[in-house]
Amino acid sequence: GNSVTQMEGPVTLSEEAFLTINCTYTATGYPSLFWYVQYPGEGLQLLLKATKADDKGSNKGFEATYRKETTSFHLEKGSVQVSDSAVYFCALRYGGATNKLIFGTGTLLAVQP
Amino acid sequence: NAGVTQTPKFQVLKTGQSMTLQCAQDMNHNSMYWYRQDPGMGLRLIYYSASEGTTDKGEVPNGYNVSRLNKREFSLRLESAAPSQTSVYFCASSDEGLANEKLFFGSGTQLSVL
C-alpha cells in the first residue's frame, strides 16, 4: 500500500543553520509529493510540491527533489530562521480525481536565535 | 479572505455525547475532506466528498458520519463520542486536476472526550 515515512523530531537548530528533513515513500505508480507546514495554532499550508521524477519544488528558500530511484523527497533549506519553527509534513497524493493525501507523522522544527 | 472556516475551535464532551463539527469554504471547491491529527500519527483521512451530494469513507471512518449539505458546507458528526476520538480535527477543501493539487485547511477543532 501507499505510505510516507519521515524523520522523527524534534529537530533543534540555531538560526542560519542548514536544514534537512528526510522523507521516503512507498507507492504504486508515480504519485505527486508534497511538503506541508503547520505553524502553531494553525491549519496546514502547502509549502511545495513535485509532480514527477526529478522535479524540484521550491518556496520560501525551501527545496525538495522528487527522487524516484531512492523513493525520497527530502526537504532542505540553506539558512533557517526563527520564523521557520513549525511542524513539517511530507505527503503523497493517491486520490485519483480527488486530492486525497497520505501524510507522514510530521517533524517539529525549533529554530533558536 | 475566509478560506475554510471550522467551528467550534474547542470542545469537551463526555463519553456517549454527540456533536457536529461544522466546516464551510468560500472558494467554490468541489472536494472537501475531514482529517484527524493525532500525536505520532500525522493526519488521517476520515471522510471526503468529491462533489455536492457524494461522500466516501477514508482511512478511519468508524464512529463518524458526514453530510455534504451543499457545495460550501461539509459537516462531521460524532453520534456517541468515545475517548479514542479525542483529537484535533481538520477540514480541508480543494479543486481537481493536476493544476490544483493543493489542499486548503481550516484552523482545526480540538476535541476532548472524557
Q: Mean pLDDT across chain A, nearest whole number?
A: 93
Q: Is B21 at the interface with chain A, CB within 8 A? A: no
**For residues B62-90, average pLDDT:** 96
Residue B101 confidence (pLDDT): 78
Q: Are B41 and A3 in contact (CB under 8 A)?
A: no
Pick from B98, B96, B104, B83: which is nearest to B35 by CA?
B104
The residue-averaged pLDDT of B25-38 equals: 94
- The pLDDT, as a whole number, for residue B1 is 66
Q: What is the pLDDT of residues A97-108, one digit of tens each?
A: 677 899 999 999
Cβ–Cβ contact B24 with A under 8 A: no
Query: Does any CB of chain A come closer than 8 Å to the CB of residue B106?
Result: yes
Q: Which residues from A are below 8 Å from B98, CB to CB?
A: 32, 51
Residue B96's pLDDT is 73
Residue B39 has pLDDT above 90, yes or no: no
Count of Cβ atoms closer than 10 Å to residue B39 Cβ:
9
Q: Is B8 exposed, middle or buried (0-12, 13-18, 19+ CB in 10 A)?
A: exposed
Q: Which amino acid is at B26?
A: D
| Residue contact B103–A99, C-beta within 8 A | yes
In which band, very low, low, confident or very high, does the pLDDT at B40 lie, cut at 50, 70 and 90? Answer: confident
HSE toward the beta carbon, residue A81, CA cutoff 13 A: 5
pLDDT of residue B98: 61
